Amino acid sequence: MKKILLTLFAAMLIASCSTTKKVAYFQDMRNGGTIEVAIPAEIKLKPGDKISIHVNSKDEELVAPFNFHRNQNTSSGTETRLAYTIDNDGYIDVPTLGPVLAKDRTRDELAKHLKQEIINNGYILDPVVLVDYFDLQISVLGEVNKPGKVNIDKDRFTIIDALSQAGDLTITGKRDNIMVLREEDGKQKAYTVNINEASQLMSSPVYYLQQNDIVYVEPNTKKAGQSTINDNTMRSTSFWMSLTSFIMTVVTFLTR
């Protein structure tokens, strides 16, 4: 009987260690260690994306035709900057300049192009052009604390950024098989990443996310097993602790 108890206790310890291994992030990283990271991929603008453009200069009258905004009747007198939607051919229609190709450019590349066009056409000699994302998003679904849409707020937006904004994974989220769906050439392509291993995660082609990517965190075996009462019960730590306690009580009674 003592051997049985020791075996049960050892099994509980092994199960505990196994759980920790499945939950901890970046397990292959050590203090001072380095790993290879995927080539940084800045977001390229696509048809359907919305962006805002603002032109600044010393002369406010000269920039007024370029700034696409609407005055709000508020006590603070704030302005709401409206969005340009990139059309199916990849163009936006900029006041005074006309159609400008935005597709396949980063927002920095588009800003530089607009600045040069304004200067070349003699409208303003010293323009400062700012291009911002307007409602570019990624979907984060499954075992995270705040599933839903996540806004892209910088050029190099990683899967870690997305999961952070979604409130991190729940304890039942499967960390070694996170799926990223990305539209490529008119088709949805699936990638999987493992955030337990930093080297595998950061070298992945989907470490840097793109607009409209879908991140799905699969439930682990325990969470999936909740649909079957017996399966969930047999896998729970409390079940095995209760069973061990019962066996110890029986052994104590029999050995008196």
pLDDT of residue 40: 82
Q: Among the three residues 133, 159, 192, which one is the final residue of a domain in this structure?
A: 133
On whether both 32 and 87 belong to a single domain, the answer is: no
Let me know if 242 is exposed, middle or buried by CB neighbors in 10 A (0-12, 13-18, 19+): exposed
pLDDT category at 185 given cuts 50, 70, 90 is confident
DSSP class of residue 207 equals S
Among 11-20, 130-139, 200-209, 245-254, the minimum mean pLDDT is found in 11-20
Count Cβ neighbours within 10 Å for each residue of 180-198 and write b for 16 or more, e otherwise.
bbbeeeeeeeeeebbbbbb
Strands (E), the chain: 50-56, 69-71, 79-81, 84-85, 91-94, 98-101, 128-133, 137-142, 148-151, 178-184, 187-193, 214-217
Chain segment 2-24, per-residue pLDDT in tens: 555 445 445 454 444 444 456 78
Nearest CA to 95 among 64, 51, 72?
64
Q: Among the three residues 133, 158, 181, which one is the final residue of a domain in this structure?
A: 133
On whether both 179 and 239 belong to a single domain, the answer is: no
For the entire predicted model, the pTM comes to 0.73
pLDDT of residue 18: 47
pLDDT at 71 over 60: no
pLDDT of residue 57: 92
What torsion, rounded to 10 degrees, do the Cα atoms 241, 246, 252, 253 define? 170
On whether both 245 and 187 belong to a single domain, the answer is: no
Residue ranges making up the domain that contains 204: 25-39+136-222
**Phi-psi category of 91—alpha, beta or left, where left has phi over 0 and alpha has psi -120 to 50?**
beta
On whether both 218 and 140 belong to a single domain, the answer is: yes
| Residue with the larger pLDDT of the pair 241 and 31 | 31
Chain segment 124-150, per-residue pLDDT in tens: 999 999 999 998 999 999 999 999 999
Helix residue spans in 2-79 (DSSP H): 2-23, 60-63
What is d(CA 211, CA 217) in angstroms, rounded to the nearest whole number?
A: 18
Count of domains observed in the chain? 3
